[in-house]
Chain A
Amino acid sequence: MNAIILTAIWGVVMMFSGVFVKSKSVPKYLAILGIAIAFIANGIELNSGNSWFTINVHGMLATNSFNLTFIAIALGSTLIYFLLSAADVERTGKHVGEYFALIFFVLCGVSLCATYKTLLMLFIGIEIMSIPLYILTGSDKRNLRSNEAALKYFLMGCFSTGIMLMGIAFIYGGTPNASFFIDNIQAGTGKMPVMIAIGMLLLMVSMSFKVSAAPFHFWTPDVYDGAPTVFTSFMSTIVKVAGFFAFVRLFESAFGTMHLQWQKLIIIITIATLLIGNVTAVFQQSVKRMLAYSSIAQAGFMLLALFALNDKAREGLLLYSAGYSLATVGIFAVLIKMEDYTIDGFKGLAKQQPVLALTATVFLLSLTGIPLTIGFQSKFYMLMAAVENGSNFWVVIVAVLFAAISAYYYFRVIQAMYFKEPTQETLLVSNISTPFKIMLVIVAVLIIAFGIYPEFIIGWKYH
């Protein structure tokens, strides 16, 4: 509960900071302070089990160590994102305070998505998460690409919301005890009632839209490419992972007993997502667009949690959230500094900026899933969950094959950085400050440390 309330309050604080404070760099420090407070407050709640705020929510929100661990991962990734990229948020436009305010509102939505117990709160959480993002996507107002991305994102988002609401209405009609609580929907292991089956299908479609799983992924590359790069970094990591968390919690609590009836659909979505994400990423010249497709590909791996739906899958989901967010936030922070977003723009980076090149290599290796990084551990847990699931072993083999394909396009960037000569004099837009380099090194060290001791993250789940 701490995280929900503090992020909402701090969003308002940030909004006023834009009005009353003339200095341009104050909002940045305020935002870092706010996210640090929220992260620590959430940590205290996770550690002691007591919230600072006692509010009667009538069971609509529930916190347990699993949810709180996820919120801690989301807030921690945002903290790192702020420390790395807050200066670039300032560069996007004039309304610095408002950008941070919107990010805090998104975090409030993320916390709701992690703790919801009713379909109403799921709907509210997803909307609080998406509406500020439409604004952030279009925040580069004079740039036509940004406008286009915002409109596309907005129309697709509204469309999928409509589908989700129709699903919720059907589920409400289908449950005999007329309730929106996700624990009351369980209809046993028998044949699914028609109305619940329709509702579940519509919910599956709309949630696939939100997490950009194929065949509902088509908006993702355009939106991620068109949005200002700092905000792409945020929405392709923390927001996407929160969508997954909501997806898994919904299908686990509401339709868990009917798992075998919808598992085949999830297999189709998983394989399609892995195929489209990985194969299309191979042909991209722009690294930003390649990362957009790679986020689709990583979504395919996260979908394995829904395919397996066991205890290992929950652990894997936490690890994957942390690993994917850390590595992607890091690689985007490097990408923002580049003059040219194509792979040619990365040529010879190792000679000019050895620290940037080295840390970027660690992030890319983690995304590929090379041992000693958290990316390996998260992929390992996901695959182990899928094996423990017992049936459909071939899905695991297909997933491993696609992970091998993904090495090609990640390694292409590494190869450009280390083994090619630079094409132009200056590769970077601005000078790299020492604190930024130190922060990058810290993130890289975290990735390797969590890769060696994944229990540090998973352990909190059983705290």
Chain B
Amino acid sequence: MDIKAYIALSLTLFTIGIIGVLVRRNAIIIFMCVELMLNAVNLLLLAFSKMHAMSPAAKALPTYASDAQIFVFFIMVVAAAEVSVGLAIIVLLYRNTHSVDVNFLNRLKN
């Protein structure tokens, strides 16, 4: 498949994620949208890795352009760490307000 299709797919997922973050008001859903953005990046990195591996420069080296695949693992690990911290913060908020709606968060404005 052409690389353009992968770019289009991944950008679509990424844009859905961004719109979700900006539009939705539920903290958990915003959080899921952020995860969607990260996974869109994972997909794109893998597609680029394959694209580079199929280029003429890669003939001599079997491991050419494999660093993007390693990068994806790092993104997954960091995303897991972020999830653990993020969910803890959301639980903390729920304990105090009994809601995960970010519209309640306006105490700092005044």
- In the complex, which residues 47-78 of chain B have their Cβ closer than 8 Å to any Cβ of chain A? 48-49, 51-52, 55, 57-58, 64-65, 67-68, 70-71, 74-75, 78
Q: Are A141 and B92 in contact (CB under 8 A)?
A: yes
Q: Are A180 and B108 in contact (CB under 8 A)?
A: no
Q: Are B85 and A131 in contact (CB under 8 A)?
A: yes
Q: Are B21 and A159 in contact (CB under 8 A)?
A: yes
User: In the complex, which residues of chain A have a beta carbon less than 8 angstroms from the beta carbon of B67?
Assistant: 120, 178-180
Q: Are A180 and B40 in contact (CB under 8 A)?
A: no
User: In the complex, which residues of chain A have a beta carbon less than 8 angstroms from the beta carbon of B3?
Assistant: 173
A127 to B79, CA, bound (A): 10
Interface string of A147-188 (1 = CB under 8 A from B): 111111011001101110110111011001111100000000
Q: Are B90 and A151 in contact (CB under 8 A)?
A: yes
A134: which of B14, B21, B85, B108 is its contact (CB, 8 Å)? B85
User: In the complex, which residues of chain B have a beta carbon less than 8 angstroms from the beta carbon of A149?
Assistant: 108
Q: Which of A151, A166, A169, A177 has the most CB of B within 10 A?
A: A169
A358 to B20, CA, bound (A): 50
Say if the beta carbon of B81 comes within 8 Å of chain A: yes
Say if the beta carbon of A191 comes within 8 Å of chain B: no
B108: which of A127, A131, A142, A148 is its contact (CB, 8 Å)? A148
Q: Are A138 and B92 in contact (CB under 8 A)?
A: yes
Interface string of B70-110 (1 = CB under 8 A from A): 11001100100110011011101100110000100101110
Q: Are A123 and B74 in contact (CB under 8 A)?
A: yes
Q: Are A172 and B108 in contact (CB under 8 A)?
A: no
User: In the complex, which residues of chain A have a beta carbon less than 8 angstroms from the beta carbon of B51?
Assistant: 173
User: In the complex, which residues of chain B have a beta carbon less than 8 angstroms from the beta carbon of A135?
Assistant: 85, 88
User: In the complex, which residues of chain A have a beta carbon less than 8 angstroms from the beta carbon of B92?
Assistant: 138, 141, 147, 150
Residue of A nearest to B36 (CB): A162
Given contacts A158-B82, A179-B67, contact A144 B107 (CB under 8 A): yes
User: In the complex, which residues of chain A have a beta carbon less than 8 angstroms from the beta carbon of B86?
Assistant: 134, 154, 158
Q: Are A151 and B107 in contact (CB under 8 A)?
A: no
Q: Are B81 and A120 in contact (CB under 8 A)?
A: no
User: In the complex, which residues of chain A have a beta carbon less than 8 angstroms from the beta carbon of B81?
Assistant: 127, 131
What's the tally of chain B residues with a CB closer than 8 Å to chain A?
48
Say if the beta carbon of A145 comes within 8 Å of chain B: yes
A413 to B70, CA, bound (A): 52
B89: which of A144, A151, A176, A221 is its contact (CB, 8 Å)? A151
User: In the complex, which residues of chain B have a beta carbon less than 8 angstroms from the beta carbon of A127?
Assistant: 78, 81-82
Q: Are A172 and B45 in contact (CB under 8 A)?
A: yes
A147: which of B31, B64, B78, B96 is its contact (CB, 8 Å)? B96
- In the complex, which residues 312-346 of chain A have their Cβ closer than 8 Å to any Cβ of chain B? none
User: In the complex, which residues of chain A have a beta carbon less than 8 angstroms from the beta carbon of B93?
Assistant: 147-148, 151
A127 to B84, CA, bound (A): 14
Q: Are B89 and A138 in contact (CB under 8 A)?
A: yes
Say if the beta carbon of A422 comes within 8 Å of chain B: no
Residue of B nearest to A170 (CB): B44
Q: Are A150 and B89 in contact (CB under 8 A)?
A: yes
A178: which of B52, B78, B96 is its contact (CB, 8 Å)? B52
A116 to B88, CA, bound (A): 30
CB distance from A185 to the nearest CB of B (A): 14
Residue of A nearest to B108 (CB): A222
User: In the complex, which residues of chain B have a beta carbon less than 8 angstroms from the beta carbon of A123?
Assistant: 71, 74-75, 78
A151 to B105, CA, bound (A): 9
A172 to B42, CA, bound (A): 12
3 closest A-B pairs by CB: A162-B37, A178-B52, A178-B65
Q: List 20 A-B contacts (CB under 8 A).
A: A120-B70, A135-B88, A138-B89, A145-B107, A145-B108, A147-B89, A151-B93, A154-B89, A155-B27, A159-B18, A161-B38, A162-B17, A162-B34, A162-B37, A165-B37, A173-B3, A173-B51, A180-B67, A180-B68, A225-B108
* Besides the known contacts A138-B92, A162-B37, 8 further A-B residue pairs in the complex with CB atoms under 8 A apart: A120-B70, A131-B85, A144-B96, A145-B107, A155-B27, A158-B31, A173-B51, A226-B108
